[in-house]
Amino acid sequence: MKVTIKYFASVRETMGQGSEVRETRARTLSDLRDELLAVSPAHAAGLARGKSVRMALNQVMRDESAALTEGCEVAFFPPVTGG
């Protein structure tokens, strides 16, 4: 399925990009995060399991068990972001 992924604040800085559209086999936010960790060193650093990263699915805060759907929007960001 195709998903739009957005990165904010320090996660965006680490990734070197604000968003991407990606084809994925992931079924949950957790699966997607794990899949992204293997994409590049920047993805591995920005989304590392040891880092506190918040997630939103279609602009609603969700935990990692949330199910993805075709065309959904996923956002990754640190726990505190500035305006």
**pLDDT tens per residue across span 2-51:** 999 999 999 999 999 999 999 999 999 999 999 999 999 999 999 999 88
Domains of the chain with bracketed CATH: 2-77 (3.10.20.30)
pLDDT of residue 70: 98
End-to-end CA distance of the chain: 32
pLDDT of residue 82: 56
pLDDT of residue 33: 97
At 13, list the tokens.
């800085």
Q: Is the distance from CB of 74 to CB of 67 less than 8 angstroms?
A: no
**pLDDT tens per residue across span 50-82:** 889 999 999 999 999 999 999 999 999 998 755
At 43, list the tokens.
């993805």
Q: Is the distance from CB of 70 to CB of 57 less than 8 angstroms?
A: no
